[in-house]
Structure 1
Amino acid sequence: MEKVLEGRVAVVTGASGGLGAHFARLLARAGASVALTARRVDMVETLAGEIAAEGHRAMALRLDVADAAAIGPAFDEVETVLGPISILINNAGVGGEGLALDLTPEVWDQTFAVNVRGVFFAAQAAARRMIASGVAAEEAGRIVNIASIASHTVLPGLSAYNASKAAVAMLTRSLAREWSRRGIAVNALCPGYIETDINAGWFQTEGGQKQLKGFPRRRLMEAGDLDAALLMLSGPAARAIAGSIITVDDGQSLPGGG
């Protein structure tokens, strides 16, 4: 793989598995030094070790993005160990499952605490450090918020999640408008359904198969389908991309069903 991110330092939140772990490996193979964060540090220590064993620089640290006060110190630790942060992949998120009539305030608040509040304060902490270190002055600052097709498509039974991802999309545009002149490109990536350990069982059920048949290509995506878009938004190719909400979903959010 071409080392398009050589010399850059990337932070990936929610890197304990799924897309976060995949993104961390991808960025490292593209040349970046990578900090993997998660609420349980043991979940990212193994992955950081695997990345290091491949010859890349990586570190693991505990971070719950819902705890805004913990984000700054964690990013300071990253800069002490790896150097100035130039890339933030705002990936940490929760599902917020539940029908609207059944949702509790606790589920609603937790969904927004992680999916929106955590995204904002992680972006703020990263941007402050990009500006202070001179990364932004070099127009090398990159913030990629992982949203979802839920930001613009109703996913049934996921009112809180849909609302939180729509908020992430508008937040992305707002931050891009404020920080573009500072040399920080803020964009969002909206993936469609990708098979993971969490949803694999569902798509084997009758309801899951019915949902699959409603997709134009009647299949789930693979994590690797996001690689080109993520690398574009994280690297030099994003020089003239700001406030974009990029959907990569295999056509799943197209109207009309399959």
Structure 2
Amino acid sequence: MTATRKMFDLDGRTALITGGSRGLGLQMAEALGDYGARLLISARKSDELEKAQAHLKARGIEVDWVAADAGKDESINTLADAALDKLGHVDILINNAGASWGAAAEDYPLEAWDKVLNLNMRGLFLLTQQIGKRSMIPRKHGRIINIASIAGLRGNPPGAMKTIAYNTSKGALINFTRALAGEWGAYGITVNALAPGFFPTKMSQGLIDNIGAKTLIAMTPLQRLGDEEDLKGATLLFASQAGKHISGQILAVDGGVSAV
């Protein structure tokens, strides 16, 4: 293996991926596992986690799972305990679990606002805090990758989605990433965020259907939606030694949408 290839090698590393049973989370789990990381994936539904585990094991990846609701404090405590018990320590934390809710801002239900912000920001903060304090800070090493969105970089075009809580949470996550990178850099921990554009996933499919895939593709400079491989390279960069001098950055993976 050449020195450059070795920079991306994750043999001996461990990774916790929330929302890891399907969609973007499973895609990132494949990337880290294919490069040697030992995984713990988490999501709310055990049946989806079992299916994801079988899929990953078929690729030769070592993986465990824990069912947890990342929007509930007690579940986060259980997940952090399980991660340290099963993995021993956490080298890589991917905060991918998230939710959205569509409604006009003037009629947006408070319970919807609380649900989205509790999962997308409060739960993410609590888990990151625990993994940082209990594993990464003592070991003076860590890679944190937050999954934001281009919805956190800009507002929604007129006539498009009405997701004020989601946009707000992702905007907050972007500055959370920068602030935490500033604080935890002294411990050898990098903190970065990926901001995906339009990827066909269970959460985004309603939006794609509502606006129309052809319309979204026409809005995208590369004239395509994201696919099942498009987050892998960026994830590996932020997770590996190749990205050891990158921190506090937000990388849009959106086919150029945020550039125009």
TM-score (normalizing by structure 1): 0.89
Q: 1:116 aligns with which of 118, 121, 133?
A: 121
Q: Quick one: structure 1 residues 47 and 94, their matched pair in 2 at CA, closer, same or farther if it must change by over 3 Å?
A: same
1:209 Cα deviation after fit:
3.0
The aligned residue for residue 145 of structure 2 is 144
Cα 1:54/1:206, change in 2 over 3 Å: closer
* C-alpha displacement of 1:96: 2.3
* Closer/same/farther in 2, CA of residues 214 and 131 from structure 1, 3 Å limit: closer
Separation (CA, whole Å) in 2 of partners of 1:104 and 1:77? 34
Matched residues in 1 for 2:202 and 2:245: separation? 36
In 2, distance between residues paired with 1:203 and 1:214?
12
Structure 1 equivalent of residue 200 of structure 2: 195
Change (3 A) 1:202 1:142: closer
Change (3 A) 1:205 1:115: closer
Alpha-carbon distance in structure 1 between the residues aligned to 2:38 and 2:182: 28
CA distance in 1, matches of 2:210, 2:71: 33
Partners of 2:31 and 2:192 in 1: how far apart?
18
Asked which structure has the greater RCO (Cα within 8 Å, sep 6+), the reply is 2
Q: Deviations over 1:164-186 (max 9, x none)?
A: 10000001111111100011111
2:86 to 67, 81, 86: 81
Report the equivalent of 1:175.
180
Q: What is the root-mean-square deviation of aligned Cα atoms in Å?
A: 2.0
With structure 2 as the length reference, what TM-score do the two structures score? 0.89
CA distance change for structure 1 residues 24 and 206 in 2, over 3 Å: closer, same or farther? closer
Report the secondary structure of 2:94's partner residue. strand
1:10-47 CA-to-partner distances (Å, cap 9, x unmatched) read 00001121101111121111100000101112211221
Shift of 1:125: 1.3
Would the aligned equivalents of 1:119 and 1:168 in 2 still touch at CA under 8 Å? Answer: no
Stretches of structure 1 that go unaligned for 5 or more consecutive residues are none
Larger mean CA deviation between 187-196 and 40-49 belongs to 40-49
Q: Is 2:235 the counterpart of 1:225?
A: no
C-alpha offsets along residues 105-152 of structure 1, whole Å, 9 cap, x if unaligned? 011111100111121111111111224652xx2xx3000000000111
| SS of 1:81 mapped into structure 2 | helix
- Partner of 2:186: helix, strand, or coil? helix
Residue 217 (structure 1) shift: 3.0
Please say if residues 45 and 59 of structure 1, whose CA atoms lie closer than 8 Å, have aligned partners that are also in contact: no
Q: Of the candidates 57, 64, 71, which is equivalent to residue 59 of structure 1? A: 64
Alignment-derived partner of residue 162 in structure 2: 157
Number of aligned positions between the proteins: 251
Equivalent of 2:240, from 224, 231, 235? 235
Segments of structure 2 that go 5 or more residues without pairing to the other structure are none
- Shift of residue 239 of structure 1? 1.3
Range with bigger deviation, 7-16 or 154-163: 154-163
Which moves more between the two structures, 53-62 or 86-95?
Answer: 53-62
User: Share of identical aligned residues, percent?
Assistant: 36
C-alpha distance in structure 2 between counterparts of 1:172 and 1:203, whole Å:
27
Distance 2:65 2:234 in 1: 25
Deviations 1:177-217 (A, max 9, x none): 11000111111110110122454465456755334322223
**Residue of structure 2 in register with 1:92 after alignment:** 97
Pick one of 132, 135, 139 that aligns with 1:130. 135
AA partner of residue 162 (structure 1): N
The letter of the residue matching 2:142 is: G
